[in-house]
Structure 1
Amino acid sequence: MGFKRIMTCVDFSHDITNRVLTVSGELAQLMKAKILLTYVVEREVPLLISEGIVLPKVELEKFEGMYRLLEDKSREKMEGLARELAEEWQVEVKPVVLVGEPFDMILEKAEEEGADLIVVGSHGKKGIERLLLGSVSEKVARKAKCSVLVVR
């Protein structure tokens, strides 16, 4: 079985991101596959808004500005990572920055792009947050329509 479109998901945590990139690079080079290097900017509704307290429009605009800046900085970082990965492993890499709930966005983009393998890191949420919500990698592995490789 050969993979031709590998969706590689990163979260910028140094150790796990490096391992995910190495595994994806090796696989893509071996199988002559294209990498879709993916990062999701998680848009969280501010706690006050989710509790039913409405913030003034000016405050909401500050949140929007913060998310736009975060998206722009994430795109810059992803373009750099994509160049490094492409040069190191001599593979085609397309950087993608998505905004939303990470596991939903990963699954949606994987299907849209026809990914036949999703590579994710095993770490992320910890403690009670992981117990209540589950990790992104666990949700992706359970719900993806293609193969998933969880890197530890």
Structure 2
Amino acid sequence: MLQQYKKIQVAIDGSSESELAFKKAVAVAKRNQAELLLVHVIDTRAFQNVSSFDSAMVEEVSETAKTSMARYVQKAKDEGLEHVQYFIEYGSPKTILGREFPKREKVDLIMIGATGLNAVERLLLGSVTEFVTRNATCDVLVVRTDLNNQPIPPLEDKKDK
């Protein structure tokens, strides 16, 4: 019997890699007649270093995320998906995307871009994608190609052009 996924999680962070993961997740959700769960994580650690931290900053970031996520939901519905919802979570992207959210929502497939960070951030913070692939208890598909299954040039190559 073929594996059929029912709940597909896709991480959205605004990077071109997450955009590709979203597009492929829409296609996989359509083929599987699955529910698509779009997840954006606002990394609250980023606000801890701001000396003049105020709640208006968090609200502004949250509102921007809501607007963006609503557009993604509409794109998915325009592609013919019926069951699409978005979630905005707060905390560590690694643990939310790799452990907490999939467990809470009973996700059976996580689709995530190969990387959304630059090389320095990956070195210092570690890759969210790497953490998710090592710690998730469900299947993880790391998107490395475009919709025509052509390799995506690394970020470093893109900057040279």
TM-score higher than 0.5? yes
Residue in 2 aligned with 1:18?
Answer: 19
Q: 1:18 to 1:109 in 2, by over 3 A?
A: same
Residue in 1 aligned with 2:154?
Answer: none
For residue 10 of structure 2, the aligned residue among 8, 11, 18 is: 8
Quick one: which amino acid aligns to residue 120 of structure 1? I
Q: Is the 8 A contact 2:10 2:22 kept in 1?
A: yes
Aligned residues: 140
Q: 1: distance between equivalents of 2:31 and 2:69?
A: 23
Indicate the structure with greater helix content.
1
Q: TM-score of the superposition, structure 2-length normalised?
A: 0.80
Residue in 2 aligned with 1:146?
Answer: 138
Q: Is the 8 A contact 1:29 1:91 kept in 2?
A: no
Quick one: which amino acid aligns to residue 53 of structure 2? L
| TM-align CA RMSD | 1.6
Q: 2: distance between equivalents of 1:129 and 1:103?
A: 14
Displacement of 1:45 in angstroms is: 4.1
Q: Is the 8 A contact 1:26 1:89 kept in 2?
A: no
The runs of at least 4 aligned residues of structure 1 exceeding 3 Å deviation read 45-48
Specify the SS of the correspondent of 1:96.
strand
Q: 2: distance between equivalents of 1:25 and 1:47?
A: 36
Matches within 5 A, 1:1-150: 1-13=3-15, 15-43=16-44, 44-47=46-49, 55=51, 59-61=52-54, 64-106=55-97, 107-150=99-142
Q: TM-score of the superposition, structure 1-length normalised?
A: 0.84
Quick one: which amino acid aligns to residue 101 of structure 2? K
Q: Which runs of 5+ in 2 are unaligned?
A: 145-161
Deviations 1:30-85 (A, max 9, x none): 1110000111111124437xxxxxx5xxx332xx2111110111012101211111
Q: Is the 8 A contact 1:28 1:91 kept in 2?
A: no
Larger radius of gyration: 1
Displacement of 1:120 in angstroms is: 0.5
Quick one: which amino acid aligns to residue 21 of structure 1? F
Specify the SS of the correspondent of 2:10.
strand
Q: 1: distance between equivalents of 2:6 and 2:25?
A: 12
Q: Is the 8 A contact 2:17 2:116 kept in 1?
A: no
Displacement of 1:98 in angstroms is: 0.8
